Amino acid sequence: MFANSDAIILDFIHLKSIEFHRDDEGALVTVGAGVVFRELVEALKAHQGALPVATGPDVGVIGYIVNGGLSGYFSRRLGLLGQRVVQLTMVTAAGEIRVLTPEDALFFAMLGAGSALGVVVDVTIRVESESAIQSAEQRGFSFATREQAVAFARGALRMLRDDVLENDSVSMELVVTGTNALIATVIFYDSFNGSAAEFVQPLEDLAASLNLPVIIESRLGSWYEVAAALWPVIEGITGEPLAMLNHCVGTYGMPDDEILDFVSDTLIAQAPLDQANFSLVEIRTLGGAAMSRAKLPSGNCYHLFFVDLVTMYDTKGKTVGERQEIADLTTRVIDQARDVNGLTVDFSGTHSQPDDVDSSALASIIFGTEAMADHVTGLKKQFDPHNRFRFHPYAKFLGTAG
């Protein structure tokens, strides 16, 4: 551990249990702290279930839940995964084992700020039927110049706002990659009526008008296929070691033209995609069930429009100067976002660097509201007065940085 020679890292690799069971309201799954999404997704497939899972196959299910993890594909229909938790087992800083349900003060706090408050051993999650997701259409186009990527994004972002954010039966994600690809995925939920192919036709027309070659044209016919769609791409992102910087921007309500223009003309135009070629700009629709279900201490359930800039590169072969340049370029983009009216910056426990003491994110933004931030701070003082759990994304806000 580089940060502190006295630190202890807990490895949950052996807590691999995934148990399906039922109550009066339907199917549940209890997941141990060592389970990663690939394992949960495969198990759900065998039970015809669906959940709002992370895109990364090796992301820890509980690490994602305790930091308010969101699914750009599924959260508009299925909520955040934490919003589906009905019970969890945790160990407090005092060594007490507690089984929490929604009646306990700590319960909701654990589902957004949990990594600062205790160790979660298992969670029980309400499972949805796989029929909640009809299908998805994925289109990929390659671009030769950044201007082409910006031009495509300008059009696609209007479609995302006007056709998708207005319609709770669909969601959309647009990813711009450092490998010069634009990947648009539109997910159709069970309430969708109409032709999925016609719905995405404007994206194809837009790409054709810009002469962008088609590299992906696929229909994903089930929740499982959508959940696993990005695994092969993500598996190709490796490094010795891989460097990663996470930031996000978003809006509470409908993004106006100024905000959409900022995302295309500044964020996509200036992101260090060439210097850090595993980088991604991911533009996602939220809201829907993620906004209407129980509020968790996470900015992720307060935002409708969500963009994350994940700067990634293999550090092997990069000089110190090149690494600094990549960090500076990333900071420059995010600093400009702070000046855009109506745009929130670094509000997500899963997509920001809130432990950076020089960044300007506020506790009320990352935990959702001032009241929620006060609530979490109070619980931190009560349940971890000696600050045993200090290597979490909220160190700065809970007065425990450094």
Between the alpha carbon of residue 304 and those of residues 120, 252, 254, 269, 347, the distances in Å are: 29, 5, 7, 23, 12
Residue 350 sits in the site that holds ligand FAD (CB under 6 A): yes
Q: Are 76 and 285 in contact (CB under 8 A)?
A: yes
Give 212 or 395: the residue with its C-beta nearer to ligand FAD: 395
Residue 279 sits in the site that holds ligand FAD (CB under 6 A): no
Residue 54 sits in the site that holds ligand FAD (CB under 6 A): yes
Give 71 or 377: the residue with its C-beta nearer to ligand FAD: 71
Residue 223 sits in the site that holds ligand FAD (CB under 6 A): no
Q: Are 109 and 330 in contact (CB under 8 A)?
A: no
- Segment lying near ligand FAD (by CB under 6 A), choices 43-51, 57-65, 150-158, 164-172: 57-65
Residue 296 sits in the site that holds ligand FAD (CB under 6 A): no
Q: Which residues of 221-242 are buried (b: 16+ CB within 10 A; e: fewer)?
A: ebbbbbbbbbbeebeebeeeee
CA–CA gap between residue 310 and residue 246 (Å, rounded): 5
Residue 155 sits in the site that holds ligand FAD (CB under 6 A): no
Residue 56 sits in the site that holds ligand FAD (CB under 6 A): yes
338: nearest Cα among 316, 359, 318: 359
Give 58 or 256: the residue with its C-beta nearer to ligand FAD: 58
Residue 224 sits in the site that holds ligand FAD (CB under 6 A): no
**Using CB atoms, what's the residue nearest to ligand FAD?**
63
How long is the chain? 402
Compose the 357-376 pattern: x for residues touching ligand FAD by CB under 6 A, - for all others. Answer: --------------------
Per-position DSSP letters for 63-116, written without gaps between them: HHHHTT---TTTHHHH--GGGGEEEEEEE-TTS-EEEE-TTSHHHHHHHHHGGG
Residue 234 sits in the site that holds ligand FAD (CB under 6 A): yes
Give 54 or 268: the residue with its C-beta nearer to ligand FAD: 54
Residue 59 sits in the site that holds ligand FAD (CB under 6 A): yes
Helices (H) and strands (E) in the chain, counts: 14, 15
Q: Which amino acid is at 40?
A: L
Cβ atoms < 10 Å from Cβ of 270: 16
CA–CA gap between residue 99 and residue 361 (Å, rounded): 32
Least gap, CB of 71 to ligand FAD (angstroms) = 6
- Within positions 66 to 105, which residues make up the interface with ligand FAD, using CB under 6 A? 66-67, 69-71
Residues 6+ apart with CB under 8 A from 194: none
Residue 311 sits in the site that holds ligand FAD (CB under 6 A): no
Compose the 164-203 pattern: x for residues touching ligand FAD by CB under 6 A, - for all others. Answer: ----------------------------------------
Task: Tell me which residue has tokens 């983009």.
Answer: 333
Residues that bind ligand FAD (CB under 6 A): 12, 33, 54-56, 59-60, 62-64, 66-67, 69-71, 114-115, 119-120, 234, 350, 391-392
